[in-house]
């Protein structure tokens, strides 16, 4: 475990086009359990401070299959080795953004519901989540990070640049 990163409560978030965001994360194994609660605590705190709804370990330079999803008024999910085993056929559109791609947001289509299996590192067993709506969306977005994918990958570099510039202007205007 990269313990030196744990000394700070707020982790540094890698920004597009950092190549480390393209790394495919490795599954958690038995030997890794020891450090998990520390990593998850730091990831949760980072999310709270940065104001996001989801964070993948890849985004903080830890190439392990860990994600945290923290949606307002819902329980926080800390998932190790999450795998989507089923996607709904129906889709929905939502304006998506990412802490690793500052200012960029756009309407993205994704499956509305997913079935997710993950390893519960406290009980040491596999659990299943049936997710829909925002939870399903954030889980898909974060698992993409673990595979080295970003939500903007379907867009051209020119379009990404335009979105970031427009988002920056919007923020300057205060909304």
Q: With respect to Zn ion, which residue has the nearer C-beta, 39 or 60?
A: 60
Q: Is 67 in the site for Zn ion (CB under 5 A)?
A: no
Longest pairwise C-alpha distance within the chain? 49
Q: Is 98 in the site for Zn ion (CB under 5 A)?
A: yes
Q: With respect to Zn ion, which residue has the nearer C-beta, 47 or 98?
A: 98
Q: With respect to Zn ion, which residue has the nearer C-beta, 33 or 148?
A: 148
Rg (CA), the chain: 16
Contact 12, 18 (CB under 8 A): no
Distance, CA of 19 to CA of 39 (rounded, Å): 22
- Residue 122 Cβ vs Zn ion, minimum distance, rounded to whole Å: 26
Local structure of 34: helix, strand or coil: helix
Q: Is 42 in the site for Zn ion (CB under 5 A)?
A: no
Output the CA–CA distances (angstroms, integers) from residue 26 to 23, 36, 91, 94, in the order listed.
9, 14, 29, 29
Residue 166 in tokens: 């427009």
- Residue 124 Cβ vs Zn ion, minimum distance, rounded to whole Å: 29
Q: With respect to Zn ion, which residue has the nearer C-beta, 108 or 118?
A: 108
Binding window for Zn ion (CB under 5 A); candidates: 5-13, 33-41, 90-98, 104-112: 90-98
142 is catalytic: yes
- Residue 14 Cβ vs Zn ion, minimum distance, rounded to whole Å: 10
Distance, CA of 130 to CA of 153 (rounded, Å): 26
Contacts with Zn ion, residue ranges (CB under 5 A)? 98
Catalytic site positions: 142
């Amino acid at each position: 475990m990269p313990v030196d990163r744990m000394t700070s409560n707020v982790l540094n978030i890698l920004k597009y086009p950092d190549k480390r965001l393209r790394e495919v994360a490795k599954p958690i194994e038995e030997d890794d359990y020891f450090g998990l609660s520390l990593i998850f605590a730091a990831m949760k705190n980072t999310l709270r401070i940065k104001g996001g709804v989801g964070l993948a370990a890849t985004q903080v330079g830890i190439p392990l299959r860990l994600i945290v999803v923290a949606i307002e008024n819902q329980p926080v999910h800390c998932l190790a080795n999450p795998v989507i085993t089923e996607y709904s056929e129906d889709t929905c559109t939502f304006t998506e953004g990412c802490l690793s791609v500052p200012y960029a947001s756009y309407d993205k289509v994704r499956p509305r519901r997913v079935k997710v299996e993950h390893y519960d590192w406290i009980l040491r067993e596999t659990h299943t989540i049936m997710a829909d709506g925002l939870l399903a969306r954030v889980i898909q977005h974060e698992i993409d990070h673990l595979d080295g994918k970003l939500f903007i990958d379907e867009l051209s570099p020119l379009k990404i640049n335009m979105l970031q510039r427009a988002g920056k202007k919007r923020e300057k205007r205060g909304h």
